[in-house]
């Protein structure tokens, strides 16, 4: 009986001691968790202040403390001078009409296309400055031929009208082109190019001309296309060429098959944004002969002769382009350079502060863990 009583008493003592130790461990763990949470909140607060540009009261008082110049510790900021700065003229830009004079827009293809294999050419900017149409030309040296695509590149609305275009990036283009030249048949020396002509005044349509030719024979033919932005539909206006040939054959008895002739899309009619004006001409001598000014509707169906003279047809100018407008003054260049350096230094300091805060945060956590283990 005595043995049972002693055994029960010892079990009771051990249970009480275990409960006390467990309670003590739980209390210590709760303190550890609370301290860890406090360190984490302090780290987040300091990081938020460093990102926002604000600082704590202690940091402000430390930075605003007047330094003793008599100490001569060399920590003072030297006076900034521009004596050794080389002035490089920076161009200024402005927006002007793209199709001015009308019908004069052509792709400016440089010789660098032969070794770069691709060229992003200047495009036409919408009058509301929201997007631009950019031609991208690809060159294949094996067959000496070119292909072209037209892409929509969206502009940043947060910038000024000129900066939107200057800082436009081709990477922001729509993945699908609104038009591409035919890839087949593959002919050695055949080139095809696409040139935006102009927008309609209501910004519903875009006139595009496609030129097809050969490197040894020049341009063969120019075709007119109309792109509908609302329907996302592309229409080829073949009827304009058929109407010109029919008119001169029936009315004048002159078959254009016997000569080399072509058309030049000029733009949209200023009085009717649903019609495109086209000039036809023939190479019959030293100077091209005028075959008249013609118009076709945006569906490519109805063609009519507008005039046989140059002073009657009115063509609208809607789209814009970027044009250099002199150079910036040296004061402006220096101010921009100073602001850029200040921004770069600020960004560098922010990264350094973030790195130091993270390092300090990890050290405090490690120290807390080590103390808890002890």
Give pLDDT tens digits for 326-368.
777 767 777 777 787 887 777 777 777 777 777 777 777 777 7
Mean pLDDT over 36-60 rounds to 71
The answer to whether residues 334 and 307 belong to one domain is no
Contact 324, 91 (CB under 8 A): yes
Question: Which tokens is 43 given?
Answer: 């780290």
* Vertex 366: Cα angle to 362 and 369 (nearest 5): 140
Strand partners, 228: 205, 233
Number of domains making up the chain? 2
Q: Per the domain annotation, does 125 fall within a domain? A: yes
The answer to whether residues 359 and 234 belong to one domain is no
The answer to whether residues 229 and 161 belong to one domain is yes
The answer to whether residues 136 and 284 belong to one domain is yes
pLDDT at 66: 64
| Residues 6 or more apart in contact with residue 53 via CB below 8 angstroms | none
The answer to whether residues 130 and 253 belong to one domain is yes
| Residues 6 or more apart in contact with residue 181 via CB below 8 angstroms | 147, 148, 149, 192, 193, 194, 210
pLDDT at 94 over 80: yes
The answer to whether residues 282 and 354 belong to one domain is no
Q: Per the domain annotation, does 200 fall within a domain? A: yes
Residues 235-284: tens digit of each pLDDT: 999 999 999 999 999 888 888 888 889 999 999 999 899 999 999 999 87
Give the range of the structural domain holding residue 27, as residue numbers without chain letter.
2-64+78-82+329-373
The answer to whether residues 316 and 350 belong to one domain is no
Q: Per the domain annotation, does 30 fall within a domain? A: yes
Q: Per the domain annotation, does 237 fall within a domain? A: yes
Query: The whole model's pTM is what?
Result: 0.66
| 185 cis-preceded (ω within 30 degrees of 0) | yes
């Amino acid at each position: 009986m005595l043995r049972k009583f002693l055994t029960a008493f010892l079990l009771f003592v051990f249970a009480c001691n275990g409960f006390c130790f467990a309670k003590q461990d739980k209390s210590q763990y709760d303190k550890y968790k609370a301290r860890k949470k406090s360190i984490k909140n302090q780290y987040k607060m300091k990081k938020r202040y460093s990102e926002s540009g604000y600082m704590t009261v202690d940091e402000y008082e430390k930075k605003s403390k007047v330094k003793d110049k008599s100490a001569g510790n060399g920590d003072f900021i030297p006076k900034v001078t521009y004596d050794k700065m080389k002035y490089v003229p920076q161009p200024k830009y402005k927006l002007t009409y793209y199709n001015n004079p009308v019908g004069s827009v052509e792709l400016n293809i440089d010789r660098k296309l032969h070794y770069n294999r691709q060229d992003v050419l200047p495009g036409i900017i919408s009058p509301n400055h929201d997007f631009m149409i950019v031609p991208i030309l690809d060159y294949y040296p094996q067959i000496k031929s070119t292909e072209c695509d037209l892409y929509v590149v969206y502009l940043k609305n947060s910038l000024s009208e000129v900066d939107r275009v200057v800082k436009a990036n081709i990477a922001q283009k729509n993945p699908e082109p609104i038009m591409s030249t035919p890839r087949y048949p593959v002919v050695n020396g055949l080139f095809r190019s696409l040139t935006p002509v102009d927008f309609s005044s209501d910004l519903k349509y875009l006139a595009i001309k496609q030129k097809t030719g050969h490197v040894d024979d020049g341009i063969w033919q120019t075709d007119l296309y109309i792109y509908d932005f609302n329907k996302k539909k592309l229409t080829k206006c073949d009827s304009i060429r058929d109407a010109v040939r029919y008119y001169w054959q029936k009315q004048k008895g002159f078959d254009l098959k016997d000569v080399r002739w072509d058309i030049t899309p000029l733009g949209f009619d200023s009085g009717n944004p649903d019609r495109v004006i086209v000039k036809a001409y023939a190479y019959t001598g030293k100077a091209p002969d005028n075959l008249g000014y013609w118009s076709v509707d945006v569906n490519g169906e109805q063609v009519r002769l507008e005039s046989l003279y140059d002073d009657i047809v009115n063509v609208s100018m809607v789209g814009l382009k970027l044009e250099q407008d002199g150079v910036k003054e040296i004061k402006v260049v220096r101010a921009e350079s100073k602001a850029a350096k200040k921004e770069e230094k600020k960004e560098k300091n922010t990264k350094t502060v973030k790195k130091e805060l993270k390092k300090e945060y990890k050290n405090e956590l490690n120290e807390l863990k080590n103390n808890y283990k002890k």
